[in-house]
A = this chain, B = another copy of it.
Amino acid sequence: MTDILLVSTTVAERADAERLARTMVEQRLAACAQIERIEASVYRWQGALQQEPEWRVEFKTTEARYAGLEAALLAAHPYEVPAVVAVPTHTVSTAFAEWVRAECPLPDGA
The residues of A with any CB-CB pair to B shorter than 8 Å are 1, 4-6, 10, 14, 17-18, 21-22, 25-26, 31-44, 49, 51, 54-56, 60, 63, 66, 70, 73-74, 81-93, 95-96, 99, 103
The closest CB in chain B to the CB of A95 belongs to B81
Q: B92 to A86, Cβ gap below 8 A?
A: yes
Q: A96 to B82, Cβ gap below 8 A?
A: yes
The closest CB in chain B to the CB of A81 belongs to B95
> Known contacts A22-B42, A51-B22, A81-B95; is A88 also within 8 Å of B33 by CB?
no
Name the B residues within 8 Å of A25 (CB-CB): 42-44, 49
A33 to B70, CA, bound (A): 22
Q: B99 to A18, Cβ gap below 8 A?
A: no
A51 to B33, CA, bound (A): 9
Q: A84 to B56, Cβ gap below 8 A?
A: no
A33 contact from B21, B31, B42, B93, Cβ within 8 A: B42
Name the B residues within 8 Å of A63 (CB-CB): 90
Q: How far is the CB of A9 from chain B (nearest CB, A)?
A: 9
